[in-house]
Structure 1
Amino acid sequence: MDVWKIAIVGAGKIGQMIGTLLQGSPHYEVTVIDRDAAGLKKLADSGIKVAQADVGDDGVLADALKGHDAVISAAPFFLTPQIAAAAKTAGAHYFDLTEDVAATAAVQKLAEGAQTAFMPQCGLAPGFVGIAGADLAAQFDELDTLSLRVGALPLYPTNALKYNLTWSTDGLINEYCNPCTALVDGELRQLAPLEDLEELALDGTDYECFNTSGGLGTLAETLKGRARRVSYRTMRYPGHCAILRMLLHDLGLERRRDLLKDIFETALPRTDQDVVVVYCTATGTKDGILRERSFINKTVARQIDGRHWTAIQITTAAGILAVVDLMRTGKLPASGFVGQEQVKMTDFLATEFGGLYAPGRVTG
């Protein structure tokens, strides 16, 4: 049996779930690396191998990664280039969850001529949503539009924003403040965040959607020349976008991200009762007829092997581990840069980890 040694850098909530899922598989040996002793202790108490190391020190990190087949970064986005470089030095395949465009560009540069694979943006959005989008696009003879929308939301919203923190605050602010890549009239464009507001409904619940950064990954570049418009929007409950515009634009907090982060983390409670909605729609021609196809997936927090996991933990961890499994079994290129759109949806869902999405699949 082919057993891979995996190093996870980052012992936060997502890193904990990734480690737990890998620990339960016969195909992997896992070590979680972090500087935070408290986070590591929680994992060690559950029987997972841990190693305390300063992940900000290039030499220390490269030594810690030696002997591993693959490295998964579950660390903050600003450490991405450093961890990817250390993985390259260690001769390991590299995977991460970043939505940050600049960090991904650095990984792409490291992948040039590499003997191992570099696959960033492997979580939910970017990540699984790109796989779903590419699968929809492939169902048309001629693709016209592809709209990808994802929401990580509280099941029971109570405040004016109708939002609770469910994942990285830094990543959330990046999405709200950074430029958004899209295809517009067949050309790559940088759109403003919080624009192109639209409304939709699913299962009796109303949502609003608007531009945010990073969710498309490299899909827009891949579909250039094949589609007229490709876009990514974040889903929220109605009213969220108007308050964000007031905070970011009217009060100028887009220029004071540290203060915005402090406000979010002080005022918005975290919740483990959440829902993740993936809502993708494509239009184009098939057999000479204009058609529309949709993929909708709704995942809620639930118990897995007797432990409660949030929807964002489940969807993010499943997103990255399914592609790791496909790399291990030889179904993805083993060197250079690998994009999410190179993953076949059927292969993804057939892995032991991709199957975690199946209970939440509404239609396809």
Structure 2
Amino acid sequence: MDPDRLGTVAVLGLGKIGQLAARLLCDAGFDVVGHDVRPRPRSEAFPVRATDVTDPDSLTAALADRHAVLSCLPYSFNIGVADVAHRLGTHYFDLTEDVATTQHIRTLADTSSAVMAPQCGLAPGFVGIVAASQAESFDRCRSIRMRVGALPEHPTGLLGYAFNWSPEGVVNEYLNDCEVIEEGVRKWVSPMEWKETVHVGGTRLEAFTTSGGLGTMCDTYLGRVENLDYKTLRYPGHMDLMNFFFHELLMRERKELAGEILTNAKPPVDDDAVYIHVSSEGWIDEQLTRLEFVRTFRPITVGTERATAIAWTTAGSVASVIEMVSNGLLPERGFVKQEEIPFDAFTATTTGRLFGKAR
């Protein structure tokens, strides 16, 4: 890492993923300060400050002496953070899957003197990097299919789920329309539809449309790929039950309550698995070929602490991107698309190597 390029980072939001991202950045050589609305004891790895991120003055003070900011906050806070980072000329990174938030940040990037890189998590994020590396292998690519799910290793009940991820984010992706390219046409389709069966390592799963997982890939691949879509992976039966919950019970009209009910019913678990199935088809030397990246990521130990699969894959992805910016492997300013990040360079970073070790 070149500390003159990007050496100091503010991490906002110290939940499981924020804490882990901060620790991984410290391990990669960054000077990290963590910020959370609640006072917390000092971490062994980095100092922690109580900061109200909804107050522009407090947020400005938190970012004033930092080269970069990583927002691990709920997506609804990210526009405010991005606005302050843009004004200060601070490099900005987040984990959002929210389309409107990303569109706002993309507009800011047009006049930014620093990097604006949203969507640096697992999906969007890492899976887009994987899919783009497949697409670039073809002389002509006809389809890209991305399927990702973060699930309990030992599911119980009919839903077969546990809320190891932000309930606000899950509700958002289940209810917002989904962007796809179908037969060369860019369009929006409804969430929780297009159900199909996928097997990963012998585990039977169902996949269905959810919002935000493609990031900016429709912009990049329109006119180059005939079919492009993203679906969430769940254990069989999940989609029908969630459609019943949100639509027949009208919980789509009470999103905050829906999140509370679901989290209370299905709290986080320590034993989780991240299932990934990314496949692309196209022609190489006039031969039709299919490429697949199929993995099951499970919890690992980081330092002396156990990290859930969803935590380390998400935190590890954004930490790797920040390291690449610091090392001059990505643009120094403007909007960074996940699909423009080289897969080999990503997995060669201090944290990115974890993705090659885990299976």
1:183 alignment partner, one of 178, 181, 184: 181
* Residue of structure 2 in register with 1:2 after alignment: 2
Deviation digits for residues 121-163 of structure 1 (CA, Å, limit 9, x no counterpart): 0000000011011111111111111000001000000111001
* Residue of structure 2 in register with 1:141 after alignment: 139
Aligned counterparts of 1:267 and 1:318: Cα–Cα separation in 2: 28
* Residue of structure 1 in register with 2:57 after alignment: 59
* Number of residue equivalences: 356
* Residue of structure 1 in register with 2:161 after alignment: 163
Q: Classify the secondary structure of the residue corresponding to 1:158.
A: coil
* Residue of structure 2 in register with 1:114 after alignment: 112
Deviation digits for residues 151-186 of structure 1 (CA, Å, limit 9, x no counterpart): 100000011100111110000001100011111121
> Is 1:127 equivalent to 2:130 in the alignment?
no
Q: Report the residue type matching 2:249 in the other structure.
A: L
1:226 alignment partner, one of 214, 224, 227: 224
Quote the offset at 1:90 in angstroms: 2.2
* Equivalent residues of 2:68, 2:92 under 8 A apart: yes
Quote the offset at 1:304 in angstroms: 2.2
Q: Report the residue type matching 1:34 in the other structure.
A: D
* Equivalent residues of 1:67, 1:90 under 8 A apart: no
Q: Report the residue type matching 1:51 in the other structure.
A: R
Q: Report the residue type matching 1:304 in the other structure.
A: V
* Equivalent residues of 2:168, 2:256 under 8 A apart: no
Q: Report the residue type matching 1:84 in the other structure.
A: A
Q: Report the residue type matching 1:12 in the other structure.
A: G
Aligned counterparts of 1:117 and 1:197: Cα–Cα separation in 2: 37
* Equivalent residues of 1:63, 1:90 under 8 A apart: no
2:171 alignment partner, one of 146, 153, 173: 173
Q: TM-score when scaled to structure 2?
A: 0.97
Aligned counterparts of 1:46 and 1:159: Cα–Cα separation in 2: 39
Quote the offset at 1:231 in angstroms: 0.1
Deviates more, 1:297-306 or 1:215-224: 297-306
Aligned counterparts of 1:91 and 1:49: Cα–Cα separation in 2: 23
Aligned counterparts of 1:229 and 1:71: Cα–Cα separation in 2: 35
Aligned counterparts of 2:115 and 2:159: Cα–Cα separation in 1: 40
Quote the offset at 1:242 in angstroms: 1.1
Structural mapping, 1:297-316, within 5 Å:
297-316=295-314
Q: Report the residue type matching 1:179 in the other structure.
A: D
2:329 alignment partner, one of 328, 331, 334: 331
* Equivalent residues of 2:200, 2:296 under 8 A apart: no
Q: Report the residue type matching 2:287 in the other structure.
A: I
Deviation digits for residues 43-99 of structure 1 (CA, Å, limit 9, x no counterpart): x14242112121101122012101211110001101111101111222211000001
Q: Classify the secondary structure of the residue corresponding to 2:142.
A: strand
Aligned counterparts of 1:296 and 1:335: Cα–Cα separation in 2: 33
2:21 alignment partner, one of 13, 18, 21: 18
> Is 1:317 equivalent to 2:319 in the alignment?
no
Q: Classify the secondary structure of the residue corresponding to 1:62.
A: helix
> Is 1:34 equivalent to 2:36 in the alignment?
yes
Aligned counterparts of 1:157 and 1:353: Cα–Cα separation in 2: 29
Q: Report the residue type matching 1:157 in the other structure.
A: P
Quote the offset at 1:221 in angstroms: 1.1
Unaligned runs of 5+ in 1: none
Deviates more, 1:82-91 or 1:4-13: 82-91
Q: Report the residue type matching 1:21 in the other structure.
A: L
Aligned counterparts of 2:92 and 2:187: Cα–Cα separation in 1: 28
Deviation digits for residues 241-266 of structure 1 (CA, Å, limit 9, x no counterpart): 11111111211112221221121121
Q: Report the residue type matching 2:2 in the other structure.
A: D
* Residue of structure 2 in register with 1:82 after alignment: 80
Deviation digits for residues 281-328 of structure 1 (CA, Å, limit 9, x no counterpart): 111111111111111222101222221110011100111011101100
Aligned counterparts of 1:283 and 1:52: Cα–Cα separation in 2: 49
Quote the offset at 1:202 in angstroms: 1.9
Quote the offset at 1:340 in angstroms: 0.3
* Residue of structure 2 in register with 1:98 after alignment: 96
Greater RCO (Cα-Cα under 8 Å, separation 6 or more): 2
Q: Report the residue type matching 2:167 in the other structure.
A: T
Q: Report the residue type matching 2:44 in the other structure.
A: S
Aligned counterparts of 1:348 and 1:140: Cα–Cα separation in 2: 20
Identity of aligned residues (%): 38
